[in-house]
Structure 1
Amino acid sequence: MPDFGVLFASIPQVAARYRAGTLSPVDVTRASLSRIEELNPALNAFITVTADLALAQAVHAETELRSGLDRGPLHGIPVALKDLTDTAGVRTTCGSRVLADHIPDKDADVTVRLREAGAVLLGKTNLLEFAYGIVHPDYGQTNNPWDVTRTSGGSSGGSAAAVAAGLCFAAFGTDTGGSIRIPAAYCGVTGFKPTYGLVRLDGVFPLSWSLDHGGPVARSSGDAALMLAALTGRPHNAAPRDLHGVRLGVLVEHTRGPEMQPGVAEVFERACDALRAAGAVLVQVRVPGLDLVEAAMMHVLQPEASAVHTAWLQQSPEKYAPDTRTQLEQGFEVSAVNHVRAQQFRRNLVRDFLAALTDVEAVLTPTVAWVAPHEDPVVSGDEGFAEARRTAPANLTGFPALSLNAGFSQGLPVGLQITTRPGEDARALSLGASVEALLNANRIPPLGSSPPFKRTAP
């Protein structure tokens, strides 16, 4: 029986055991692959599993470490890539029939960086079609490890579910309106959308070029920082801080609203109370114009997405899921005037968020107003707007934003979001680590006791 318990250790803990010679990258990779084989039929987190490649990379990592070549904390650590990330010789589907047989001949920049860091690639994770908010029936929904009748969120749901269920230690995701942070909130893990442009997206299929961000999904801010360091080639310190005297803003408009589930509001308030008890100073902040975010978001996203898909829509419209095709067709109807006004709104939103951050280190909100639903809402519908209401502003502004698990409602995870100024990615991660240590809310999904699941402990 593989040692599944080690799959829930932190990346530094596993890395230390590798270097002490008490744990093997090959054994850990085999345990990961065994767990994928066992759980993926119910979770549907992976589209493609690269078992042979992963084992070959694990053998290589083990040989290098034993010879004294140390590539850093991710050396020999099993990770996954959202399946819109190019991998030479391994298919990249984008969750669509359009690219069902697409095999790139070149790696994406993030793929290269992870390989150079010595990470072990387990495979490609499931996503909503072209990351645009609709499940293509050929691939199906990624189910939530806490309740497999519910969604893991989108569009990076496969990455979040895989990390939460212990199928991998970290995963790469993309975020255009919340697509890292929403699944992280639903699955009880940590998801980080860095400052716009910090992670290069060469070889990552675009949804909306001016809103797209790439970043890590992990089980803690510390592990996310290590993944981010590999993705960017620069260190990102996420050491927990003493919270005494730290000023944090609570964004009033995003702590309320008709869509806010009482249980989510209660978990957020308990987290705020814990921060105050730890000596943090919480103050209310406001940002004008937040009611205009949804319209501005779509007036930017829709035409940019439609421009990407113009040729395929003309050549093979039937290959798209119907709702994806409808959303792409709607993008051609957005007027140039509305697109320009949305870009003007973005500039004003940046100014107003900077003003809100003048006297505080970060802004806090719930990540999503509810716990994981049974299905993903359509992006351009009322529920889709409400789902991304608290995450989309950071895409419009490009500010770094992190979601961590703050607790549970109805037995399901609730996310807390931390937003900082542009370039203050390390601050967001460090505050995230501090809040995680304070709340101690990270847990392992029970996954049930009947096949195909087995209960595991770290």
Structure 2
Amino acid sequence: MKDVTEVGLADREICDLSLTEVGAGIRIGAFSPVEVTEAMLARVAAVDPKLNSYITVTAERALERAEKAQAEMKAGLYRGPLHGVPVAVKDLCETSFAATTGGMAIYKGNETGRDSTVVARLEQAGAVMLGKLAMTEGAYSGHHPEMPTPVNPWYAKAWAGSSSSGSGVATAAGLCFGSLGSDTGGSIRFPSSACGITGLKGTWGRVSRHGVFALADSLDHVGPMARTAADCAAMMQVLAGADPADPTTLDAPVPDYLAGLSAPIRGLRIGVDTAMVIDGVAGETAEVMRGAIAAYQALGAEIVPITLPFPPETTAHWTALCAIEVALAHKATYPARKAEYGPYLDGLLAMGQAVTGFEVGEAMQWRLIYNGALSRVMETVDTVLLPVTVAPLPDLDNTLGAPSDDGGNADLGDLLKFTAPADLTGFPTLTMPGGFDTRGAPIGFQLMGKALSEGLLLRAGHAFQSVTDWHTKRPDLSPFN
């Protein structure tokens, strides 16, 4: 084994490293895939009983895969930066080796016998699957009462994000080096922001949804969640690309995301709607936005004033479209098994059952006009800087909309203000940590780009993280031991 000082990893626990750091360490022999996997599994066993990020841990298989990766590298076969690196996936991604529940009690023990395309691609790249991560019911807003509710490792009373709650918690707590999330209204971005990690929602169709349980097909995205933009680039390199099993995937070339990270961003045009994203948000959120702007200006980017078309009816139309598509996704079990559903998904499904053709048609026509209006604004800049939420959310029990001890409640309309637009348009977004609120809970921000501009977003994110250290912060896990 080589000394860890050779890759700058001295005096750091393996579980605190980023995906690309641990991948580099494995590559040069600073530690082995088995050593890394054993360390990760030990950490999961020690702290996850209180964090609830995993619904299934496949420890025996993970060690077998780590041993395989170790043997391959010893024989001279190197599959890339994910080779031998432990990761985990949201439990709506089908796996041949574990049940897939989609966060739903009615699917406990659901063995499909196949791998989703995203899982197959990660394993082909040599990644070591640690297991399946907990999530909200059906990938909507709330956890089913009979399913695990992940706990934010930074501040236990704070929201952990939805619906990829387990992905956010496990990645932040060092219980995997990267994870998969899905995003229909903000479900990669909310947990990435809430848990202080980096998440990439690619262009709609950039990543296959084959074998991924649907919430709303025309809004759903699958993407990587990790500690850094470089980590997301390494994962996206494997995940992106056309898939014959998913006809909605885009047949477009996949660039070398990692190779493009180091290109300068001087002259990058970043659109900022000051009235909306600074003056129109809470003070703690505005502080994060100002910090991001200052960092980008120091890097030579140009801040361009813009006016975003984010009308107040956006959430209502998103909800109508989502509701009808959710009803279609659940037609085999709802309303036939209505009593087995939790209150949040049941409410959305009831809405989907009741929505009229007129209302759906109106929402579809509105979406066309809205997408065109936002596309015209995007043509004037390279990317747009946005908050993830208007303000830090009140203390919640990690279930969106559940009341806190002081009677506070999350407002879905306000919550989706800055996230729903990129799902309606299919535009890519990169979410990164940018600060903390007064409770010590992370606050993130997002960069939204034009279609297929993931490489540019990752480059801009990597540049930001080269001059800031928010992505290096780690939560204190001693309360969970």
- TM class by shorter chain equals over 0.9
Equivalent residue for 2:471?
442
Within the candidate set 367, 374, 393, 2:421 is matched to: 393
- Answer yes or no: is 1:38 the counterpart of 2:18: no
Instruction: State how far apart, in whole Å, the 2-side matches of 1:145 and 1:254 are.
Output: 30
Within the candidate set 450, 454, 461, 1:421 is matched to: 450
How many residues are paired up? 448
Q: Deviations over 1:252-276 (max 9, x none)?
A: 4641577x32111112112212322
Structure 2 counterpart of 1:214, one-letter code: V
Structure 2 counterpart of 1:435, one-letter code: F
Structure 1 residue 371, shift from structure 2 partner: 2.9
Structure 2 counterpart of 1:245, one-letter code: G
Equivalent residue for 1:179?
187
Structure 1 counterpart of 2:400, one-letter code: P
Quick one: structure 1 residues 295 and 331, their matched pair in 2 at CA, closer, same or farther if it must change by over 3 Å? same
- Answer yes or no: is 1:222 the counterpart of 2:250: no
Structure 2 counterpart of 1:231, one-letter code: L
Structure 2 counterpart of 1:377, one-letter code: L
Structure 1 counterpart of 2:314, one-letter code: V
Mapped contact 1:147–1:447 kept (Cα < 8 A): no
Report the TM-score when normalising by structure 2: 0.89
Instruction: State how far apart, in whole Å, the 1-side matches of 2:183 and 2:348 are.
Output: 18
Quick one: structure 1 residues 345 and 208, their matched pair in 2 at CA, closer, same or farther if it must change by over 3 Å? same
Mapped contact 1:4–1:35 kept (Cα < 8 A): no
Equivalent residue for 2:400?
377
Structure 1 residue 437, shift from structure 2 partner: 1.7
Structure 1 residue 359, shift from structure 2 partner: 2.6
- The percentage of aligned residue pairs carrying the same residue is 36
Equivalent residue for 1:129?
137
Mapped contact 1:89–1:104 kept (Cα < 8 A): no
SS at match of 1:85: coil
Structure 1 residue 12, shift from structure 2 partner: 3.0
Instruction: State how far apart, in whole Å, the 2-side matches of 1:232 and 1:201 are.
Output: 11
Structure 1 residue 448, shift from structure 2 partner: 4.7
Structure 1 residue 315, shift from structure 2 partner: 2.7
Structure 1 residue 76, shift from structure 2 partner: 0.4
Mapped contact 2:141–2:344 kept (Cα < 8 A): no
> Which one is further off, 179-188 or 340-349?
340-349
Within the candidate set 65, 75, 83, 1:75 is matched to: 83
Quick one: structure 1 residues 289 and 185, their matched pair in 2 at CA, closer, same or farther if it must change by over 3 Å? closer
Quick one: structure 1 residues 203 and 230, their matched pair in 2 at CA, closer, same or farther if it must change by over 3 Å? same
Mapped contact 2:158–2:441 kept (Cα < 8 A): no
Instruction: State how far apart, in whole Å, the 2-side matches of 1:178 and 1:18 are.
Output: 33
Structure 1 residue 17, shift from structure 2 partner: 2.3
Mapped contact 2:56–2:131 kept (Cα < 8 A): yes
Equivalent residue for 1:364?
385
**5+ long unaligned stretches in structure 2:** 1-10, 242-253, 403-408
Mapped contact 2:172–2:475 kept (Cα < 8 A): no
Report the TM-score when normalising by structure 1: 0.93
- Answer yes or no: is 1:404 the counterpart of 2:427: no
Q: Deviations over 1:70-125 (max 9, x none)?
A: 11110100000100110013111111111012111111111111110110000000
Mapped contact 2:265–2:459 kept (Cα < 8 A): no
> Which one is further off, 199-208 or 411-420?
411-420
**5+ long unaligned stretches in structure 1:** 454-458
Instruction: State how far apart, in whole Å, the 2-side matches of 1:255 and 1:158 are.
Output: 28
Which runs of structure 2 are paired with 1:56-67 in the superposition (5 Å)?
A: 56-67=64-75
